[in-house]
Structure 1
Amino acid sequence: MSEDSKDPGLSEIFVQDVREAIKRIEPVITGLKTTGINNAALDKIFRQFHATKGSSTFLNLTRIANVLNSAELVLDLTLQGHLKLKPAELCDILVMVLDFLRHSLPFVAEDSDDGRIAEEAEVMSAKLLALIPENIPEPEQVIDDKKVSDNTSAVPSDIAAQFEDTASEFNGDLLVSEEDPSTALDMKKVFIEESEKLLRKLEQDLKQWEKLPYDKKLVGELLRTVHSFKGNCGILGYPDLETLGRAMEKSLDVVATSAVSPAPDFFKTLFTLKGVLSKGVDSVANGGDGGIADLEASLDMLK
């Protein structure tokens, strides 16, 4: 986002929602000292950081995004077993990330920018990356999906998914400045491109998961993909697509925490609903509002 297109209103929303996110995620982080390091907690923390990183990148808050990218790398390597940290060590470093975010928010609120915390961000990123031994390669997933680019003018795959609690109150007009009405067309184009990419990934991972129904890592990938899609739809004002995405995410969350593999019909249902989402994106591409003709029927398929 350029200097001319910075929107103080979006920055205010970002600050408010990140503060709420910190309240939600801090108990999970501090709980690591008592529960120990476990995949469920790390995945929850990772998803929150990933969503906030997406919002930060969209608002051109590159210092915050880079810190969260480094935190994601630490979490991802820990989840994959490549990085061995004691629960107290991981807890302390993640609390430091939360403290960094708290420190950053007043500057974002005042400037709609994070330039004044550049030095702190560099120090924080260095502390996170210092945890990683040199002989541990970056996971391919991190390189492909999570690395923050120096060019942040393009909207990331999870535009402000952090705003999920209030997303239904938003619409695309929030992202358009009066001085630059072409922004709406640019955002719509990026949304369509990112959505098509996410839905292709969703289909590929569903096909793989159907062959390996006990693979919890694949469930995690599916959750992240649907979470990203849902967040994009919410912030850009496509409520039907957001609602169905949220319902799919909840169903996947149930499977992720279950000890048994899903019934065969569940895979068929998700493939069908993926098709419904694709039709909604096609509607947007053709000038529509992304509405789903019989949304309730689609939601009932998940019950």
Structure 2
Amino acid sequence: MYKLALATLAAIAPFALLHPAHAQKPSPVSSVRLYVFDCGHLKSGNPQPLLDRGITVTDMSVAAYLIVNPRGTLLWDSGVIPDELIKPGGTTEARATVTKTLNSQLAEIGYQPSDITYLALSHNHYDHSANGNEFAASTWLVQRKERDFMFPQKPPEKENPNNARFAALKNSKTVILDGDYDVFGDGSVIIVSTPGHTPGHQSLLVNLAKTGPVLLSGDLYHYPSERTLKDFTPFANLGDPQTEAASKAKVEALLKEKKAELWIQHDIIQFAKLKKSPAFYE
């Protein structure tokens, strides 16, 4: 009987890591908190051009973030593989590998999708929007050009299958943006319009009382070398390089003005140094 019990516990342990019981409901906060979630990593599909420019670490981190404000919550980005496809021990899909579900990381700190006031995706690409459908009941904050790109009036003849992972957002309560936006109306969390990588790409400025201002890049940058190397824009074929260059200039000026720290979401080296949820920045 004892051996059977041990075997049963061993069998269910991996599932508990993926689907833990919800922690006690968190107490209201008095200042802004920023939680960092580990949503896996991506192997570079074509590392040689990066290696040629001196980038020796070409793998990329995948992250999501929860910002908790006294006035509500904001989930920024939603991972690369839908939670429902992640198995105990991890799941690999194409170039992405994920070992923890987004919902399990939320649950660990007492939140579930219904607790998320706002959802904002930096952009529509699959490695940022995989769990979009999970948060369709939240208010979606999206740039007008991005939503039009995601849900065109005339759908393409060949639909990207990954688009089904955010399809439910089409009917979500939505705030359409045409530029920068103060999420909670108190200056603590600002969506920064940074088009170029996609038509309505956006970044996020989070003003933290103790840590100081932090700017989450989305895919405005993928590697820190992009800030210093001339004429170097990975994945330029995906968007509009000239518009992206203007967005980078805007963000560099903002970083200088606010004395903010730039968190490049795909910078796997920087990401490894960040404290992960349930710890938080404030």
TM-score w.r.t. structure 2 length?
Answer: 0.31
Q: Which has the higher helix share?
A: 1
Q: Which has the higher strand share?
A: 2
TM-score w.r.t. structure 1 length?
Answer: 0.29
